[in-house]
């Protein structure tokens, strides 16, 4: 899969992959990035989920504006499944 991100999505992805873990990543930025890969929606329990090719992945509660550490890790793993890594971001 070819990954083409605009500047805003690239900045969000860089925040997700930075070390040490960034604690200032907002949900609306992440949802915009995830929408590049599939359909993003809020579940009846208030969780954000993304559906790609009929499979849905939930990223947990969105009661705060920023992602928790666990949510950042889950989103990282999701993005890696599409071939998006820190190396890909720095090479572009």
Domain residues for the domain of 25 are 7-91
Q: Which of these, 78, 75, 89, lies nearest to 3 by C-alpha position?
A: 89
Instruction: For residue 33, tell me if it sits in a domain.
Output: yes
Q: Alpha-carbon distance 47 to 52, whole Å?
A: 16
Mean pLDDT of 26-44: 90
Answer yes or no: is 1 within a domain: no
Q: Could you tell me if 52 and 58 are in contact, meaning their C-beta atoms sit under 8 angstroms apart?
A: no
Mean pLDDT over 39-57 rounds to 86
Could you tell me the two tokens for 37? 């890969």
The answer to whether residue 82 sits within a structural domain is yes
pLDDT of 2 strictly over 80: no
Instruction: Label residue 73 by pLDDT band (50, 70, 90).
Output: very high
Question: Is residue 2 a part of any domain in this protein?
Answer: no
Q: Is residue 72 part of a domain?
A: yes
Domain assignment present for 47 = yes
- Count the domains in the chain: 1
3-state class (DSSP) for residue 83: coil
Judged against a pLDDT cut of 70, whether residue 26 lies above it is answered with yes
Half-sphere exposure of residue 63: CA atoms within 13 angstroms, side-chain side: 2
pTM tops 0.75: yes
């Amino acid at each position: 899969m070819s990954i083409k991100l605009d500047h805003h999505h690239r900045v969000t992805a860089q925040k997700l992959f930075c070390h040490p873990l960034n604690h200032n990543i907002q949900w609306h930025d992440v949802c915009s990035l995830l929408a590049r890969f599939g359909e993003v929606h809020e579940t009846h329990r208030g969780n954000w989920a993304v559906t790609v090719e009929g499979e849905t992945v939930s990223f947990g509660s969105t009661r705060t504006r920023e992602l928790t550490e666990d949510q950042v890790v889950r989103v990282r793993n999701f993005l890696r499944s599409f071939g998006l890594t820190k190396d890909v971001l720095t090479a572009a």
